[in-house]
Structure 1
Amino acid sequence: MTSTSSLAGKRVLITGGSSGIGAAVVRRLAAQGATVAVNYRSDQEAAEALVGELRDSGCAASAFPADIGERTQTHELVGAVVSEFGGLDLLVSNAGIEHFGALETITQADFDRLFQTNVAGQLFITQAAVAAMTDGGRIVLSSSVSARLAVRQHALYAASKAAIPAMVRNLAPELAERNIAINAVAPGATATRMAGYAPNYVHPALADVPFPALMRSMSALGRLAQPDEIAATVTFLLSPEASFITGTTIEADGGWN
C-alpha cells in the first residue's frame, strides 16, 4: 500500500492492539502508511487475524506477544520490534485492565494486578521505547475519564488511570530534551468488551434505567464512543499536526458530565 500520509514509514508499537480501541488504532495507523507492531498478551488468534487482514491490504504489520505488566517482557517486546523493524518511532500504550468492586472486596492481589499493568506497565513500556527512539519520537499513553468521575465501586481502576496524566505531565520536560513528545488520551465510555461491565455497577437507584437511556443522561452526545473515534484522537497526537502538544491528556468523552 502506498501512502502520502505524514505517518508513512513510521514504525509504531501498539500495546493491547488485538481488540477494542487498540485494534482501531492499529487499523487507522496502518491505513496511514505506518508499519505496525500489534502487541497482545493472550489472544494470539485475534492478533494474527488482524495482522493477516492488514497484510492482505498491503500494509506492513506483525504480532508480538508480551504481558505489559511484566517489566522484563516490556523491554524484550521493544527489543523484538526494533530487531524486526529496524527501529521504533512511535508508541501507543493501550494495554489495560478494568476493575469494579466495593471497597471491602478489594484485595492486595487486585491492587497489584491493576497498578502493575495500568501504571507500572505504561511507565516501563515508555522507558523501553524511549531508549530505542531517535529524536522526534511520539508517545501516547492511556488514561480514562474515570480519573475525574465518581463512579460506584470504581475506585481502584480510577486511581490507576489517574496516575497517567501526572506521569505524562512530569515526563514531558525530560523527554523534550530528546525531542520526544508524550501525551495521553482519556476515553469516555466506549463500545468495547470492557464497557460491558459498567451496567452492573450503576447506583441501585438507577438499576431499572436502561443503559442507553443512562448514557443519554450522562453525556452531551448521549452515546458510547466508537473505538475508531478514540483512535482518531490517538492518531492526531502521533502526527506532526500535534507538534506543539506534550505533557497533555486529551479527554475524548463525548461531553461526559
Structure 2
Amino acid sequence: MNLGLDGKKALVTGGARGVGRGIVLALARAGADVITCCRQDSEAARSLERELAEIGGKHHVLRKDLVEPEQIASLFDEIRVHFGELDLVVNNAGAISHVPYEKLTLAEWHRIVDTNLTAAFLVTQHAIPLLGSSGSVVSIGSKSAEVGIPLRAHYTATKAALVGLTRSLAKEYGSTGLRFNVLALGVIATEALDAMPAEQREAMIERYAAKTALGRLGTPAEVADAVLWLASDLSRYVTGATIHVDGGIS
C-alpha cells in the first residue's frame, strides 16, 4: 500500500538502535526523507547510515545529546539547512533505569526526566514552526505509565507526563491541523534483549509473552507500522490519542 509518504520530511530522535532504528528504516523504505539523531558515535549509527544509503533518499544521522538544550537548537539549525520543513516528528529518544524509590537520587531523576520528557518538550516546541498544516507528532510512550512498575517510578512518571503533554497540544493546535499522538508500547524485542545471557533472555521472553493476548513480544517493525499510519492521511482524524502497541499485555 502506498501511504503517500514519498518525499515527506521526518525527524526521529534516538534512531540508531531498537525501536527508533526500526522507525527510521520503515520511513525511509516508505519514501520519506529522514533525519535522526543519537547521543554518540557508534557502530550502530554507522551501520544505520550504510543501510539508509542502500535504501536511497535524503537521510542524515546526526550526533546530538538531547539532554543539552543547545544541542537541540543545533539539531534544528541542521534540519532547516537540510530539509527546511518537517511533516513528521517522532519523539523516541529515551532512557530507563531500575532504582528502588528510596535510593532514587535527584541526579538520576533529572537524567530520566530530561531525556524522556524535557527533550520531547523542546524538540516539539522547535518543530512546530516547521510543521505544515497536516503535520504529525508521535511520542513513544509505554504501557507502564498506566500500570506502574516497581523500581521505575521516575521512568513511568515521564511516560505518563507525555500523555498529558500530547493531549494538551492536540487541543491547543487542533485548529491548525497539527496532530499529536502517543504510542504506548508493551515489551518490544530489541538488541538489548539479544545482548542478555541466553538463560536470562529466554526467561524474560517466556515471562512477558505469557502476559500478552498474542502470546509473544513485539518487534520494532510493528511499532514502525503504527508510526507509518500516524504519519499518513489514513489517520487524519486521529489526535490526542494513546494507541497501544502492546500485544494486549495485561
Aligned partner of 1:223 among 186, 206, 216: 216
What amino acid is aligned across from residue 228 of structure 2 in structure 1? T
The number of aligned residues is 247
Q: Residue 176 of structure 2 aligns with which residue?
A: 178
| 1:39 alignment partner, one of 33, 37, 43 | 37
After superposition, what is the alpha-carbon deviation per residue over 1:93-118, rounded to whole angstroms, capped at 9, x for unaligned?
11000121111220000100010111
In structure 1, what is the Cα distance between the partners aligned to 2:71 and 2:191? 25
Aligned to 1:210: 203
1:150 offset after TM fit, Å? 3.2
Specify every segment of 5 or more residues in structure 1 that has no aligned partner in the other structure, as ranges.
200-206
1:204 is matched with which residue? none
CA contact (8 A) 1:5 1:33 kept: no
Measured after TM superposition, the shift of residue 256 of structure 1 is 0.8
2:161 maps to 1:163:
yes
Give the C-alpha shift of residue 241 in structure 1. 0.3
Counterpart Cα distance in 2 of 1:213 and 1:133? 42
Which range moved further: 190-199 or 140-149? Answer: 190-199
Q: 2:232 aligns with which of 215, 232, 239?
A: 239
TM-score calculated relative to the size of structure 1: 0.89
- Structure 2 partner of 1:25: 23
Equivalent pair of 1:98/1:194 in contact (CA under 8 Å): no
Q: CA deviation at 1:131?
A: 1.9
Give the SS at the match of 2:51: helix
- Residues 31 and 59 in structure 1, CA contact (< 8 A), matched pair in contact too: no
Q: Percent identity?
A: 34
Cα offset for 1:193? 4.2
User: What pairs up with 1:1-257 in 2 under 5 angstroms?
Assistant: 5-194=3-192, 210-257=203-250
List alignment gaps of at least 5 residues for structure 2. none
What letter corresponds to residue 110 of structure 1 in structure 2?
A: E
3-state SS in 1 of match to 2:53: helix
> Which segment is superposed worse, 190-199 or 130-139?
190-199
Give the drift of 1:231: 0.9
Q: CA RMSD in A?
A: 2.2
How much has 1:5 moved relative to structure 2?
A: 4.0
Partner Cα distance (1:154, 1:245) in 2: 30
Contact 1:90–1:137, Cα closer than 8 Å, also in 2: yes
Tell me how far apart the structure 1 counterparts of residues 132 and 205 of structure 2 sit (CA, whole Å). Answer: 45
Q: State the alpha-carbon separation in 2 of the partners of residues 254 and 39 from structure 1.
A: 28
